[in-house]
Chain A
Amino acid sequence: MNVIVCMKQVPDTETLIKIKPDGSGIVKDDIKYVMNPYCEFAVEESLRIKEKHGGQSVLITMGPAKAVEALRTGLAMGSDRSIHLNDPAFEGADGFATAKVLAEAIKKEPYDLILCGKQAVDDDMAQVGPALAELLNLPHVTLITKLEFSADKKKAKVEREVEGGKEVIEVNLPAVFTCQKGLNEPRYASLPGIMKAKKKEVKAINAAALGLPGDQVGAAGSKTQINRYLPPPSRPPGKVISGEILEAAQKLVKLLREEAKVV
């Protein structure tokens, strides 16, 4: 089975985010970038499918030059080849414009299945997977935590996390799934894997090669725009409750009832 994995490079989750003084964006100096954690589940699942059923694991990302690092990480984990959608015209894309570019590139590839992370932990939009499925006219299932195939590989049975439980869903392939924590434990790249990855294909594709006009990609092709960035709402300084344990517990309960009014 050929699996396409859509992935994104994002700031490490330990990163402190600083906003530019004019609110136009975040300060991007000194940020350590990593593969989006949810994309790791997608890459890992594609490798397990390849190991069990054969076929290729193909990575695709849209991003600037440095996004190659995320592709190399996935190739080092074991994916076969990769596609880097890189063009200054792609910058500033919202979920729709991102899905559009991915869809055009994926149309030129053979695939049985497309995997995405459930969301990228930078913009937290959680839109690209379902939007991509719509643009490719494929079914989608979000938040999967288990994936199996029918004997003829024409159908998949997936489990997805819902509030207070899970659903088991059957779906015809090809389909788009977004991956949630719990699906698998992503492997680390091995040293031989890292060496091999250097020789694996990273195919660069720009807007012209996709045949997409400039007004359909990046900020120009986006349906939404960000007016400004803001810091999180500030919290008043907290109170440290002192005293013996019983006394402190009693004070806390009283404060939560009388001052905070939450119990």
Chain B
Amino acid sequence: MAKGIWVFAEVKDGNVRKIGFELLSQGKKMAEKLGEELVAVILGSGVEGLTERLAEYADKVYVADNPALAQYTTDAYTTVLTNLLKEHQPSIFLCGATVVGKDLSPRVAARLQTGLATDCTGLAIGDNGLLVARRPVYAGKAYVEVVCPVSRPQMASVRPNVLEMLPADGAKKGEVIKVEVKLEPASLRTAIVEVVKAAGAKVDLTEANIIVSGGRGLKGPENFKIIEELAAVLNATVGASRAAVDSGWREHGDQVGQTGKVVTPNLYIACGISGAIQHLAGMGSSKIIVAINKDPDAPIFQKADYGIVEDLFKVVPVLTEEFKKLLSES
């Protein structure tokens, strides 16, 4: 019978991403409830040094360290992972709903002919011992609880920043197990020929702690300068409404909403955004929402924790100065 909770520890820029530890923290609670082991699996090149911290969370750490895994490619990662999962037959396999996790998990699930819940915001073990994955549908206008009753492993990808990360257990020392990597060159059908970093790349919207967003109320691309200045003070990422993106004021990658990015920051500051339903769907699960808009009837105020009904061109620069003062004091 399938046993064990496995967590994919995604590596980015030489470190395990925080989502890996968030999943291990949640996985630990669920493993205790099920009486099963917690396992981390890490793929990459020169990543053996990263296993130590994972072993403070997991009972076992499988590490596949090979130059062919230096960069994520679908075929290589799918092959290495599915071989491991076939061999060890865990009951649950979790990864982050990151660009990598969202590319990898459906491919792995299809190869293993098992069920996958993507982009989850909550995980629990039900009374019958099944993994119950909660996830938004219609960009957060509704939620569903999904189970995978028969096939194994039960798979889920989980959004960054929604699960609580617990401190490592310093006394714990999980067993580190090296995995032999065998990949047929012909089986690797895609090749990364170039990686282009966006100029002045901040934290991606989907992972940002603070987002300052601008909409139609900005009136033109040049006025996003005041949004950028506020964002710089808060170390925040700049977002935009669909109206601003469709007007060509911002790149499509900045768009927050149902046809853009669904975001879950701790603080979302919406400036000159009226709050079309498809925008609200994309940012409605942010922890704290601030709205600045001169129209008191703008729907954004129904989602906002704090609202200022005023002209954003007057408020935002003052707010930037006030945050500057606050953050220089602390």
Contacts and interface: CB of A to CB of B under 8 A. Distances in A.
Contacts of B190: 139, 141, 169-171
A131 interface: yes
Interface in B172-205: 189-198, 201-204
Interface in B197-215: 197-198, 201-204, 206-207, 210
B267 interface: yes
Interface stretch (B39-47, B56-64, B101-109, B217-225): B101-109
A248 B196 CA distance: 42
B321 to A, nearest CB: 8
A182 to B, nearest CB: 4
Nearest to B190: A171
A154 interface: no
A86 B292 CA distance: 48
Contacts of B151: 223
Interface string B270-312: 0000001110010011011111000010000111111111100
Interface in A118-168: 121-131, 133-135, 139-143, 157, 161-168
Interface stretch (B24-32, B84-92, B134-142): B134-142
- Sorting the interface of chain A by its residue count into under 10, 10 to 19, 20 to 34 or 35 or more gives 35 or more
B115 interface: yes
A181 interface: yes
A181 B305 contact: no
Contacts of B201: 164-165
B267 A164 contact: no
B305 A239 contact: yes
B192 A223 contact: no
Interface string B98-124: 110011001101110111111100000
Given A126-B102, A126-B119, A130-B103, A171 B308 contact: no
B138 A245 contact: no
Interface residues of B, number: 97
A205 interface: no
Contact of A135 (B102, B110, B114, B304): B110
Contact of A96 (B115, B258, B281): B115
A204 B30 CA distance: 46
A212 interface: no
Contacts of B288: 256, 260, 262
Interface string A43-76: 0000000000000000000000000000000000
A78 interface: no
Given A121-B139, A134-B110, A139 B74 contact: yes
Nearest to A123: B137
A232 B310 contact: no
A190 interface: no
A237 to B, nearest CB: 9
Contact of A236 (B191, B196, B305): B305
A223 B147 CA distance: 9
Given A181-B259, A181-B260, A232 B140 contact: yes
B103 A142 contact: yes
Contacts, number: 264
B10 to A, nearest CB: 11
Contacts of B136: 124, 232
Contacts of A233: 143, 285
A255 B269 CA distance: 14
Contacts of A126: 102, 106, 118-119
A96 B196 contact: no
Contacts of B302: 238
Given A133-B107, A161-B253, A230-B145, A241 B307 contact: yes
Interface stretch (B1-9, B163-171, B322-330): B322-330
Contacts of B197: 164-165
B295 to A, nearest CB: 13
Contacts of B146: 224-227
Contacts of B192: 167-169
B137 A124 contact: yes
Given A124-B138, A262-B287, 19 more contacts: A95-B106, A121-B138, A127-B109, A134-B110, A140-B107, A163-B206, A163-B207, A169-B191, A181-B255, A224-B117, A224-B148, A225-B149, A230-B143, A232-B285, A235-B305, A238-B306, A252-B319, A253-B323, A256-B306
In order of increasing CB-CB distance, the 5 nearest A-B pairs are A223-B115, A139-B189, A224-B115, A134-B110, A131-B110
30 contacts: A15-B277, A17-B142, A26-B138, A95-B106, A95-B116, A95-B118, A124-B118, A124-B119, A126-B102, A126-B106, A126-B118, A131-B106, A131-B109, A134-B110, A161-B99, A163-B12, A163-B206, A165-B198, A166-B196, A167-B196, A171-B189, A238-B291, A238-B305, A238-B306, A241-B306, A246-B318, A252-B308, A256-B306, A262-B267, A263-B327
Interface of B: 12, 74-75, 98-99, 102-103, 106-107, 109-111, 113-119, 132, 134-151, 189-198, 201-204, 206-207, 210, 234, 251-253, 255, 258-260, 262, 266-267, 276-278, 281, 284-285, 287-291, 296, 301-310, 314-315, 318-319, 321-323, 326-327
